[in-house]
Every structure is written in structure tokens, then in C-alpha cells.
Amino acid sequence: MQIESLKVFCDLAEAESFTKAAQINEVTQSAVSQTISALERQFNSLLIERSKKNFRLTAEGEVLYQYSKQILQIYDSLDSKLQEIKDIISGNIRVATIYSIGLHVLPSYLKRFLKKYPTVNVHVEYRRPNQVYEDVISNVVDLGLVAYPMRDAKLEIVPIKKDPLVLICHPNHALAKNKAIKLRALNGQKLVSFERDIPTRKALDKLFRTHGISVEHAMEFDNIETVKRAVEIDSGVAIVPQETIKQEVASQTLAAVKLDDGDQSRPLAIIHKRSKVLSPAIKQFISVLKEQE
């Protein structure tokens, strides 16, 4: 029996999916099935109740899962400690990020990190917010980058920074001439919005309710880039993170107006599984992301 076999089994137990377990370990579904069958032969026990409708570990499978997790955590801690002793910063880091952070916040940090640690391979995937959480919890990735982090008993949240929110509009829009506006100026405005399940949209809806503001959601999108394109053709105004519109403001395709109602900003954070043993490379990556630019 190898450590890799126990890892495949634990990933399968947590993901409850042969497809996802195969993805995590970069093997085929057939290889995952063969690994489980080999473990069942070794322990002379049925580990998984095979059913098309439900995935469930047997009593023996639950015991193997609990002890395997302990073995894997000890092994990962050992590997991490040996790397620290040797002062080695290398390996792979898998990151899932929402689009706005991945496209507009992460690049400068990533460049700084890779310049400092060129032997580390960072693989970045762009995902919807709910998928970032799913990927972190099921071990598809090591770290997630999110806005408005949601608390979960399984997750550790590491705050990074606060990204100011601004109003954007077409340069010829009536609000574009203002340097700053109160939120009440948005009452009755056509708003190009994020979709309802996006955390920034939820935060803005709550903000509008608090201030008694009613807006018309003219369009709804799931990513920042499409929101900006809609505002550029004057389909409405939008509230977006300041970090995401620097290029458009510089080229004058969008006008940015400060929100003059207290500290209107979105919190950004790293999330990782609470039980995860962080390698020296992951620890250094987190350290770089926490640095103020």
C-alpha cells in the first residue's frame, strides 16, 4: 500500500465523485476504481457502497478514511518540515480564483512571487465564487481567492486587502461630471449588475436596502468584464471594484466616480481547508498575497 493510494481514497471520500477524485490526482476514473479495488482486496473489506444514486462509505470505509487522513496529515507535515530544514521552496500550488481577482489583483502578486521563487509552479483556474469554495473543500485546489469570504467550519479565512468600490458610467453620462456622489444619487438609475448569486451583488443589494435606494437592474452578468462592456455602450451605470477599471479609465472609455458614503469597499481573502497542511511554498505564497502594494 502506498501513500498515493490512501490520498486517492480520501479524495474520493470527500468529493463523493470518481470523476472529481480522478481530476484531483490527475489520473483516469479507471485508475481511481482500480486503486479502490486494490485497497478493498488488501483489507478484505468493502469500502464503498456502489450505487448510481448515492455515494456512501461503508463502516469499514469510514474507519479507513479517518485513519488515512491522519496518516496523510503526518506525511504532509513531515514533508513540509524537511523542506523547511533544507530551506527548499519548490513544488506546485493550485489556486482557484474569481475572475475579478484573477484578472486584476493577482497578476502583480504572482509576478513578485515567481520572481522570488522561480522553482514553484502556480496553476491558476478562474471560477465562479461557489465553485471556488467547492474546489477548496474537495481538495481540487490548495487555495481559493474570493471576495466577501463566507464563513465555513471547514475553511480557514486569511484576509488580504480591501478593494474600494466605485461607480462607473459612460463618459457622457450625467453622473460622470461628479468627482464623488452620495448613494442616493443612484435612486431610479439603470444599473448593470452582477447576477444575484455573486457575493458583490448580494453586498450591494444589502447596501441599497439599508439606504432605501431603488434601482432598475437593466442587465445582469456573472463576470466583471461583461459588466464593463455593457457600461461602455451606455446600457447603465455599475458599481465595481476600483482595481478592475484602471485601464478603461486611463483610455477614457469609462468614467469612475467615488462613492462618498463611508468606507465602501469589498474585502478580499484567501481560503484554504482548515485541516490542510501548508507546504513552505504555499506559506510563502500566502505571505506575498498579504503584502501591501
**What is the reported pLDDT for 1?**
60
Measured CA distances, 203 to 101, 195, 207, 220, 276 (Å): 17, 12, 6, 15, 29
**What is the reported pLDDT for 139?**
86
**What is the reported pLDDT for 229?**
96
Q: Report, as ranges of residue numbers, the positions in the chain whose pLDDT lies below 70.
A: 1, 52, 293
> What is the 8-class DSSP label of residue 150?
P
Reading the block at residue 50, the C-alpha cell is 456502489
pTM for this predicted structure: 0.79
Tell me: the pLDDT tens digits for 169-221?
999 999 999 999 999 999 999 999 999 999 999 999 999 998 899 999 999 99
**Contact at 8 Å (CB) between 109 and 227?**
no
CA atoms within 13 A on the CB side of 100: 28
**What is the reported pLDDT for 192?**
96
**What is the reported pLDDT for 266?**
93
**What is the reported pLDDT for 261?**
77
**What is the reported pLDDT for 88?**
74
**What is the reported pLDDT for 202?**
93
**What is the reported pLDDT for 257?**
95
**What is the reported pLDDT for 145?**
97
Closest to 36 in 3D by CA, of 54, 21, 53: 21
Q: Which domains does the chain have, with CATH numbers?
A: 3-85 (1.10.10.10), 87-161+268-290 (3.40.190.10), 162-266 (3.40.190.290)
